[in-house]
Amino acid sequence: MQTCLDCIPCFFNQTLSAGRMMGLPDHEIKRLLDAVGKGLEQVSLESTPPEMARLLQRIINQKTGSQDPYKELKHQSNVIALGYAPKMQQLVVSSEDQLLTAIEVAIAGNIIDYGAIHDLDVDAELQQLMNTERMQLEREDSANFAYQAFSEDLKQAKTLLYIGDNAGEIVFDKILLTVIRSMYPDLRITFAVRGKPILNDVLLEDAQEAGLTEMVQVISSGSDAPGCVLDYCDESFLEVFRSSDMIISKGQGNFEALSDEDAPIYYLLIAKCAAVARELSCSVRDIILKRKQR
Amino acid sequence: MQTCLDCIPCFFNQTLSAGRMMGLPDHEIKRLLDAVGKGLEQVSLESTPPEMARLLQRIINQKTGSQDPYKELKHQSNVIALGYAPKMQQLVVSSEDQLLTAIEVAIAGNIIDYGAIHDLDVDAELQQLMNTERMQLEREDSANFAYQAFSEDLKQAKTLLYIGDNAGEIVFDKILLTVIRSMYPDLRITFAVRGKPILNDVLLEDAQEAGLTEMVQVISSGSDAPGCVLDYCDESFLEVFRSSDMIISKGQGNFEALSDEDAPIYYLLIAKCAAVARELSCSVRDIILKRKQR
């Protein structure tokens, strides 16, 4: 997916959020915004939003001298999500269709995003999202929620690559992977984290904190963009990517990076902005489980 | 009111809207955004939002070579508003409290803003706004809707300065001024327009198109910012400003510019963004008739 003009004001919003999360005073945040403003010219509309975000994050890192400004926030997100895990786990176990409910939980985890976490009523949000999705399902299986195809493909797959998104959210991904593992014990599951710190995206340490490393193989994609931009990925990751029978691409950043790739991908996300909603012909905040058209 | 950090992403949104309204292709809009990005450093958080918007508009004008890129749009806004005028006029005439209804109409006109006009259901918006305000009034006269004080001050005033805001909207301002004129035939009313083209703000030609010049004295403030920044105003305007018994400051831009001025001002506006809503301790889209505290 290409960056569109509407992404540009959004990058300034993201810079502003980043500065506030780092606790910087206003005049320093202004300097960050100025630096991003100057760097805007280098950013091409041919690139994907994660490529742009990576460039801008480099500017922020240079200005602040911090390589991982979101480190503490990611840890907090993991702790908060781990607090919700038993409840979510229970919800899955007691449901009629455990796979479907676990998908719902994993998508709902996508709302635990850094910007919102402080004033978010997580309970209410989860409840609302899960109701929305049920409604969607009651309207039956659709192109943007291809649950039947997902179930079928999963049944056939021997190898599954799950490309992670954010810290916190990864705890909910683990619940989905636990269900998949219990249904298909022979399926070889690999979970990919980012190669370097970028925004609140998952790193190996988050996979450890979520307890995922004890359960599946966790590898680094090598990408330091907030999305799995294949041009920035390691060869070893690309081998797994190319050879997997099925790939789950989690979150909006991975969708933006991988939407044009020809691979057996399911995109699992909440559409968080108008540009992505337009790309998917859906509404903002719609819940998506979309199979890559081949 | 000082510019806040939240205004910065909004300036990029405004630039994007401006480019689209001018019908520019994406790569040229990108060049505009780049230029605004470069210019951001010159913009101080000590200045008001209209001062910042003026600086950025100059960049846009330089890049596009157009001194009045919104000219056609302003004309269209006037034509649309003139189409609604008889209905609004009728609403006022048939109401119990004509002054109050005319204030409602004038504030409702504040929604006829360039960004929204194409996909706006003007009828529905006006209806909704007027209901909102009635509800507000039923909650009784408040600091943010000081109708009683306004009526009293108007009764006492000998001179009234009305500082206009946008094209289109001016047609609705005229309806309010018509009621005021009929109630107080001896009141000397002056209507101020901007000194030079800036966004979709009112110029003398809009006052003519709205038929306002036939009814009251229309003067230029001299300001080329999208708000009545006194530092940019002509001495002749400042004399009127300083000597008026009562001033009506219409719209958000004038509020941003005049909120710290010590003068007998009533601010009449819809709070259109979070920064202004915070300043007024109200919600976005609240309807405001606020008396300057002296």
Interface of A with B (CB under 8 A): 5-6, 8-10, 12-13, 16, 19, 26-27, 29-30, 33-34, 36-41, 45
Q: Show the tokens assigned to A8.
A: 């540009």
**β strands within chain B, DSSP E:** 159-163, 188-193, 217-220, 246-250, 265-270, 287-291
What's the pLDDT at B139? 42
Q: Is residue A267 part of a domain?
A: yes
- Same structural domain, A56 and A80: no
The ipTM is 0.75
Is the pLDDT at A137 greater than 60, yes or no?
Answer: no
Please report the DSSP string for A23-46 in residue order: T--HHHHHHHHHHHHHHGGG--TT
- Same structural domain, A233 and A132: yes
Say which residues have a Cβ less than 8 Å from residue A201's Cβ, sequence separation at least 6.
A164, A165, A166, A167, A193, A194, A226, A253
- Same structural domain, A111 and A254: yes
Interface of B with A (CB under 8 A): 5-6, 8-10, 12-13, 16, 19, 26-27, 29-30, 33-34, 36-41, 45
Is the pLDDT at A146 greater than 50, yes or no?
Answer: yes
Question: Any idea which of A62-76, A237-251, B72-86, B187-201 has the lowest mean pLDDT?
Answer: A62-76
User: Which segments of chain B have a pLDDT < 50?
Assistant: 114-119, 138-139
**Residue B230 CA: distances (Å) to CA of B13, B104, B223, B226, B260:** 26, 27, 8, 12, 11
Q: Show the tokens assigned to A287.
A: 């819940």
Q: Is residue A2 part of a domain?
A: no
Average pLDDT score over chain A: 88
Q: What residue has token string 């990751």? A: A237
Q: Closest partner residue to B9 among A12, A38, A41, by Cβ?
A: A12
Q: Chain B residues with CB inside 8 Å of A38's CB?
A: 37-38, 40-41
Do A234 and A216 touch, CB atoms closer than 8 A? no
- Same structural domain, B107 and B27: no
Is the pLDDT at A114 greater than 50, yes or no?
Answer: no
- Same structural domain, A25 and A96: no
Q: Using alpha carbons, select from A201, A226, A210 the residue that is nearest to residue A81.
A: A210
- Same structural domain, B53 and B75: no
Q: What's the structural domain count of chain A?
A: 2
What's the pLDDT at B116? 43
Summarize pLDDT for A162-214 with one digit per residue, the tens: 999 999 999 999 999 999 999 999 999 999 999 999 888 999 999 999 999 99
- Same structural domain, B225 and B103: yes
Q: Each residue of B246-267: b (16+ CB within 10 Å) or e?
A: bbbbbbbbbbbbbbeeeeebbb
Question: Which phi-psi region, left, alpha or beta, contains residue A240 (left: φ > 0; alpha: ψ -120 to 50)?
Answer: alpha
Judged by CB atoms closer than 8 Å, whether chains meet at A34 and B41 is answered as: yes
- Same structural domain, B39 and B109: no
Q: Which chain A residue's Cα is nearest to B37?
A: A37
Q: Is residue B147 part of a domain?
A: yes
Interface test with B, best of A28, A40, A44 (most B CBs within 10 A): A40
What's the one-letter identity of residue B226?
P
Q: How many CB atoms lie within 10 A of CB A116?
A: 12
Q: Is residue B1 part of a domain?
A: no
Average pLDDT score over chain B: 88
Q: Is residue B88 part of a domain?
A: yes
Q: Closest partner residue to B13 among A9, A29, A37, by Cβ?
A: A9
- Same structural domain, B84 and B32: no
Q: Is residue A55 part of a domain?
A: yes
Residues composing chain A = 294
Do A169 and A251 touch, CB atoms closer than 8 A? yes
Do B150 and B178 touch, CB atoms closer than 8 A? no
- Its domain, for residue B47, covers 7-64
Q: Closest partner residue to B33 among A26, A33, A40, by Cβ?
A: A40
Q: Chain B residues with CB inside 8 Å of A9's CB?
A: 9-10, 12-13, 16
H helical segments located in B25-166: 26-39, 49-64, 71-93, 98-109, 122-138, 147-156
**Largest alpha-carbon pair distance within chain A?**
56
Q: Is residue B2 part of a domain?
A: no
- Same structural domain, A126 and A217: yes
Which helix (H) or strand (E) segment holds residue A124: the answer is helix A122-138
Domain boundary among B64, B86, B106: B64
Judged by CB atoms closer than 8 Å, whether chains meet at B16 and A36 is answered as: no
How far is B135 from A242, CA to CA, in rounded Å?
61
> What is the distance in angstroms between the CA of the first residue and the CA of the last residue of chain B?
16
- Same structural domain, B256 and B128: yes
Q: Is residue A1 part of a domain?
A: no
Judged by CB atoms closer than 8 Å, whether chains meet at B16 and A29 is answered as: no
Q: Using alpha carbons, select from A279, B41, A56 the residue that is nearest to residue B11.
A: B41
- Same structural domain, A127 and A249: yes
Looking up residue B158, the CATH number of its domain turns out to be 3.40.50.10880
**Average of per-residue pLDDT across A61-69:** 83
Domain boundary among B21, B37, B64: B64
Domain boundary among B40, B64, B88: B64
Residue B230 DSSP class: G
Q: Chain A residues with CB inside 8 Å of B3's CB?
A: none
